[in-house]
Amino acid sequence: MTGRLDELTSWHADWKGLRVAVLGLSMTGFSVADTLAELGAEVLVVTQDADAEYARLLPVIGATLWTGPLDTVPAELEAFAPEVVVASPGFAPHHPVIAWVRASGIALWGDIELAWRVRDKVVRADGTPADWVLITGTNGKTTTTQLTAAMLVAGGLRAAPVGNIGVPVLDAVRDPAGFDVLVVELSSHQLWYLSLQDGPDPLSPHASVCLNLADDHLQWHGSFAAYRDAKAVVYENTRVACVYNKADAATRVMVEEADVVDGCRAIGFDLGVPGPGDLGVVDGILVDRAFLDDRRTRALELTTVADLAARGLAAPHVVANILAAAALARSLDVPPAAIAAALDTFRLDAHRIEVVAVTAGITWVDDSKATNPHAAASSLAAFPGAVWVVGGQLKGVDIAELVAARGGGVKAAIVIGVDRDPITEAFARHAPGIPLFEVDHAQTEDVMAQVVELAAEIARDGDVVLLAPAAASFDQFDSYADRGHRFARAVKDRVDRDENQQDRSHGGGAGDDDDPAADPPRGAAG
């Protein structure tokens, strides 16, 4: 079967009749099934739970659906005898179905490999498909992906942010308008599947970056070493620029060990003064000393920290993301003026160091996206002395190192979530003098209200209350966004209540509470 698969490196190859099983029916799984059906393959989608809309569409596109428990290999999957299995990234290496696929010698792909193989459906004017830029890292992937795409667009290129950011790469590959560049955010799960590719035309990006590396997703990968090895795949076969974080030695080692195309350069970035070939910061100015001819004696100005601060983009880890994105954009000849123009209008997504309120001198910050200790460390560095809201589902990660490094610098800690014990134990061991408050594993609707009431009692004029959980949200919330939204809503409810009390204390009158026109219902604007 390998012989036929080796020939399937183009949209225009003969995919007809190829038996492909697709594992999972998320947005990614459906894009895989839809692509394969369009190519003429015979498609069986296997999933435990099916989204109703996707399930309705599968027979329309010509694919077959099987649903049921996947703790063992379904007989229907074995009977289908797939020649290729394309798995959604949620399926871990130790999953029973994945283990069966690998033991059976069946080709196992992720959606990224399929997208690379058919990337030539729509080509540019010169007949070549879009360049790919790959972005990964424990933290900062989505922001850097958005930044890079914005810079490329400002530079006159047609670019799309895709992948783990929420837009399947296959959707962009099949977009009839076509692109100059696909900016592909990759999770460690997607990179693990990419590490399995053994065809004659492996993915070869124009440029790539691993922003940073810290413990995360250890339950999925089984060990930190396996997680690190998956992340390192991002640099393989890079053609022009391997961008790495000079402040994170692990990323430099990845670049040094990567098998890249001859002539590919290693480009470093950090918040210090850059050497020739790097990007960094000099006297509050972000500069490029990598992509200019006279880089030993000159530097190109990109923007200033003051300008970034005016747009809420000056937190150290955000500046690092901007430098990484600028390096990727400069590798594609985007001029410095276009990078500055992109930053003028760029805004961080919700739940990423988002100030949700400033009241009574207290600043309330939602960084619910800080779902692991590394991300939370960046937030704590940006807001020293904060009242820290921490906790959730730790995913097997040890939080003691974070508490040892940063816990002693907070004003107080409010601990939430199912994995509270490791956090309280870490504080007892490493920061015993810090006031510690626990919110019981309460109903979802009550958690953030309790958090905000506690924080309001602790915080004083000039303080910051920082939601940077260092943990996943799924123990109590639908997502990190749901967690952040509930925090912001609880803060707004508290602010509204305080303002209403102040109004009454200043002579509002006993009848005002009964006036339906006096104020909207609490939270109505939320």
Query: Is position 143 annotated in a ligand binding site?
Result: yes
Structure tokens at 489: 């809503």
Query: Cα 338 to chain center, whole Å?
Result: 25
Query: Is position 142 annotated in a ligand binding site?
Result: yes
Q: Cα–Cα distance between 49 and 23 in angstroms, integer?
A: 11
Q: Cα–Cα distance between 310 and 96 in angstroms, integer?
A: 51
Contact between residue 385 and residue 521 where contact means Cβ atoms under 8 Å apart: no
Q: Cα–Cα distance between 378 and 353 in angstroms, integer?
A: 10
Contact between residue 474 and residue 449 where contact means Cβ atoms under 8 Å apart: no
For residue 143, how many C-alpha atoms fall within 13 Å in the half-sphere facing its CB? 27
SS3 95: coil
Tell me the torsion sign for CA atoms 49, 51, 55, 61. negative
Sequence-ordered list of residues with C-beta below 8 angstroms from that of 193, at least 6 positions apart, any chain: 87, 89, 108, 109, 110, 112, 113
Contact between residue 132 and residue 181 where contact means Cβ atoms under 8 Å apart: yes
Contact between residue 415 and residue 438 where contact means Cβ atoms under 8 Å apart: yes
For residue 97, how many C-alpha atoms fall within 13 Å in the half-sphere facing its CB? 26
Q: Which residues are known binding-site members?
A: 137-143
Q: Which residues are known binding-site members for ATP?
A: 137-143
